[in-house]
Amino acid sequence: MRPLLPSPWRMLLLAALLAVLPDRAWALAVSTVSRADTDSLIVQFGVPGAFPGITRTGARQITLQFPPGSLKDEKKPEGVDFASTRLIDGAKVSGDTLLVSLRTDAFGYVGWPEGEHTLKLQVYRDPAGANWRAGDETTMSPPAGPPPGPAPAMALPVTPPNNKPGPLELPPLPPTLADKGAAAPAKEAPAAPREPYFAVPYSLRAQALRVAPEKAPTLRPGGLQASATGGQEEKLPPVPGGATRPASGEGTLRVKLPPIPPEVAAAGQETRGAVTPPGATPPAPAAPPAPAAPDTAKSATAAAPAAAKTPAGETAGAAPAPADAEEANADATLLVAAQAEKLAGNYQGAKNMLEGLKDKPHLAKDVREEALYTLAALASDMYKDDPAAHYDAISGAFQEAINANTSSYRVPEALLQLGMLNLRVGNVPEARGYFNVLTKKYPSDANVPLVNFYWGEYYFDHGNYKKAIEEYQRLIEKYPESKHVRDAAMGLAKTLTKIGRYKEAAEITDYIDKRWPRYYVDYPPILRIEGDIAYRSGDIKTARNDYLMFYNIQPKIKDADLVLSRLGDIYSKLGNKPAAVDFYNMAIKDYPDSEGGLIAKMRLAEEGVHDQPSINEMFSLFGKPAYGSPADIYNSIIRDHPDSPLAPLAQIKLAMWYLYRQNYPDSLKAASRFLDAYPKSDLAPRAVDVAVNAFEKMAADLLARKDYQRLVDSWHDNPVLAAHRDKLSDASRLGMALAFLHTGHPRDALAEALPFIGPKESDNGNLALMMALYVYQSQQDWKDVVDLARKVQSWRFGPTQRRDVEFAVARALENLGDTSRSVQLWKKLAGDQSLESGKRCYAMYYMAKQALANKQLEQAELYAGEAVAMFRETGKSPDLLKSSLNMLVETAQGLGQYPTALKWATAYAGMCQKGDDDWSSNRLRIAAIQRAMGDMDGWRKTLTAMRDESPDSLFGKMAASDLAANGLQERLNALTQTQ
């Protein structure tokens, strides 16, 4: 064991006391320190350099012989407690001799001076000591003066510096570590019970769905009327460059079309009429023939004269008398007149006439039946714009007509009309019921193929294009000889166009042109559809001809505005800018608030067709607007026409406009609104690009100004950013992590930082690692710290970063209770003189704690002393500073350095609140130290103060008890000496 140098303050204090109290006698102080296999006896004396000779003078005795007269003025030591020692049994003074008695003869010993006034005698277990015999005495006399030089002091180990980049120097980490302080993992919540599937009971009479007229689906009997969809139809933007739009994930459609008769195919070689551009006088079109689908009114009109002209005796009813014949004639005439009023549009007059007629008691059955069906057709015509609001009137009229004669040939047509009515108002189960009755009871009726057609129209209007194709195809394949095959083929073509399958749609329209060469006269919208197909397929000139013919036949037909704007697009693509401007101006003049007019305004403002806008493309246009402000046009479309298919295009272009103007917050908001409203749009990826660009620009500025809260608010207000964080730059994501950290969102910070921590180190990975370790440590997620270190252990770290990570791992292991591993790191860190004091103080503390647990008192004293100095220097962890002071008190007591122990106990008291448990227990400890030093006056003073200040407290009572016990002992000693 190396001798310990006296601390400077002890020497100064001793010199001061000698100067102030020259006449005061010194007290010979004897104290002990016990360990597992050694006992130390510390002897303090007053005469400098009066070191004794040390001799074994008996089997169980050691004699310390001081120089003659050196102990003459020393007070004899009192109350030395040898109860805790293992080898030393006691010590007593006789003249200039100190006799030390042992509990065993199997011992060895060694002694050395510690300063000028202290000797340390260490006794240890040694089996060879039992062989000692009288005459084997060995005297160990130190020199008469101070030792020739100070004995080397115990030094703390120093970790060799390692400044080369390399992996972490960690102890082998276990595969998993359970956090002892963590709560048990919560059990997974049981899955919510599945919602049971309920089959809706079939009901022929479903309640009518009340919807506004503009929202009600419009069915086209015979396919001759334009669609008024029940909701906003999806408007697919043109494919740039004539590219073909993908087929929505479906395979090539194979439709089995009926063969074209040879004579029809030959006749179909005739060319269409000449194309006349706007401004010229178009040729007068041939009057379109009657619609292909059967019409109730026409049927009634044709049947009424037949009934009126039926000779007497040949009518279905009983033969009337001569007087009754005139009345029957009058009834038939009235029926014809009512039908004429209906055809003329005088619905109310016709209704009054028919209702008066049907109420006649002796009306002929055939006339009554005709009147009832005419009334049903009249109700259907009167309320065609709002069938839902008059559902009961229309349905009731047809029901009454059917019930008048359930065997009538008109029943299938009535069932068809009831099915159509229910589809229009949204009563799908009831419509299906009527259609099922029609197809099952009248399978050969000419109206049956129309069931598939109307289902196809219904699904088309509601955006279910797959089902629409199935219904149209079913009609074509099941009823190839039906006249309604043409309408089904047309429906198939427009549906295929809608979903971007232009090649297959073109095959269908080519079949229609060859099978029914003049179908465009009966149904001009086929020209619009063929124009769309040609335009989307890149055949611009064919598209132009089809659109021009469509517009010339019926200039005011529905969708004429779209055709005009599309013609402007075509001439723009053909390089004829004046003609394009003329078409755009026509659309704006005739349809200023329609979709086509709005498209034309946008085209003129952007000087071209830009339906698939990119940021670079739009930036080049925004610098030179020629027709009003683009923002004004975009806002007008968004504000005044929110349901227009043009609104999405305007919304994304507005976001690009704000980005161009460097208004990044509004650009981000506009892009987010687009994605909220149109998440499945083809333009959605471009909206994401705008949002990301706007956020990147804004984030760079806010991070530079350390405006973290505004950046976090923008992130939370725009969920598109989190949904597409993979598109953000690394700098922005790490900047967001930093912003989350500064605004109190550590878990969000981790979400942005952790993806950068991969198998290989990188600059971004290192930044993310430090951020993650900071969060885990501040949240005391110690297991995550160890797991993260295991993940990056093989990285090449610089020396500073390696120290930081190893320090975090040491703390984590310590808090997880894995001290066998943590102490290996603490030892390395404690000896690393390059480690900053704010971290090294913890390493010193834990090493002191470990040394104290192992009874290595000198080492514990050194580590704890360093910890106290560093904690005081850095201001870190007052609790650990207090604990370090406590360890210094314990080690000094254990080493018998009672003045040192008293000093540290006094410092400890300075960190306690007067009156609390720590304060009181520490005063008891101070009293014990004073008594061990032989300072009985100080001991009594301390305990008396405790007793008097808090007589009713636990510590006050303990102090009183100690004082009373000592008084009793003194009286017993006095009695013993008297006797």
Average pLDDT, integer, range 253-270 = 58
Confidence class of residue 263 from pLDDT cuts 50, 70 and 90?
low
Would you give the distance in Å from CA 632 to the centre of its chain?
36
pLDDT tens digits for range 524-538: 888 888 888 888 888
- Position 250 scores a pLDDT of 45
Q: Give residues with Cβ within 8 angstroms of 234, minimum separation 6.
A: 463, 498, 645
More confident residue, 248 or 160: 160
Q: What is the pLDDT of residue 42?
A: 87
Tell me: pLDDT of 323 over 60.
no
For residue 487, which of 495, 749, 759 has the smallest C-alpha distance? 495
Least confident of 14-18, 689-693, 816-820, 919-923: 14-18
Average pLDDT rounded to a whole number, residues 831-849: 91
Confidence of residue 970 (pLDDT cuts 50, 70, 90): low
Q: Check whether 187 has a pLDDT greater than 70.
A: no
Residue pLDDT, tens place only, 731-740: 999 999 999 9
265 confidence band (pLDDT: 50, 70, 90): low
Across 950-966, average pLDDT: 75
Which pLDDT band, with edges at 50, 70 and 90, does 110 fall under? confident
Q: Higher confidence at residue 174 or residue 658? A: 658
Q: What is the mean pLDDT of the chain?
A: 77
Look up the pTM and report it.
0.53
Higher pLDDT, 330 or 389: 389
Task: Please state, as a whole number, how many other Cβ atoms lie within 10 Å of the Cβ of residue 539.
Answer: 17
Q: How much is the pLDDT for 868?
A: 92
pLDDT confidence tier of residue 370, bands split at 50, 70 and 90: confident
Given this model, what pLDDT does residue 607 score? 76
If DSSP codes are grouped into helix, strand and coil, which group holds residue 122?
Answer: strand
Distances from the Cα of 859 to the Cα of 319, 883, 885, angstroms: 134, 16, 15
> Is the separation of the CB atoms in 528 and 559 below 8 Å?
yes
**Integer CA distances (angstroms), 265 to 262, 270, 503, 514, 516, in order:** 5, 10, 22, 6, 9
Average pLDDT for residues 563-577, to the nearest whole number? 87
According to the model, what pLDDT value does residue 867 have?
92
Cβ neighbours of 960 (radius 10 Å) = 16
- Per-residue confidence band for 626, with pLDDT thresholds at 50, 70 and 90: low
Q: How confident is the model at residue 436 (pLDDT cuts 50, 70, 90)?
A: very high
Q: What pLDDT score was predicted for residue 972?
A: 63
730-758 residues labelled b (16+ CB within 10 A) or e (exposed): eebbbbbbbbbbebebbebbbbbbbebbe
Strands 107-113 and 118-125, bridge-based pairing? antiparallel
pLDDT for residue 234 is more than 60: no
Residue 409 carries which DSSP code? T
Distance CA 561, CA 556 (A): 9
* DSSP string for residues in 557-617: STTHHHHHHHHHHHHHHTT-HHHHHHHHHHHHHH-TTSHHHHHHHHHHHHTS--SS--HHH
Q: How many Cβ atoms from other residues are within 10 Å of residue 678's Cβ? A: 18
The 10s digit of each residue's pLDDT in 489-510 is 889 988 988 888 888 888 888 8
Q: Mean pLDDT throughout 444-471?
A: 91
Nearest Cα to Cα of residue 11 among 118, 137, 158? 118
Report the alpha-carbon distance of residue 348 to residue 382 in Å, rounded: 9
Q: Is 520 exposed, middle or buried (0-12, 13-18, 19+ CB in 10 A)?
A: buried
Q: Which residue, chain included where needed, has tokens 């089995």?
A: 256
Helix-then-strand count for the chain, H and E: 39, 8
Cα torsion angle, 164, 170, 172, 176, sign: negative
Confidence band for 713, pLDDT divided at 50, 70 and 90: very high
- How confident is the model over 922-929, as a mean pLDDT? 86
| pLDDT at 255 (0 to 100) | 61
Q: Average pLDDT for residues 127-144, to the nearest whole number?
A: 60
| 307 has a pLDDT exceeding 70 | no
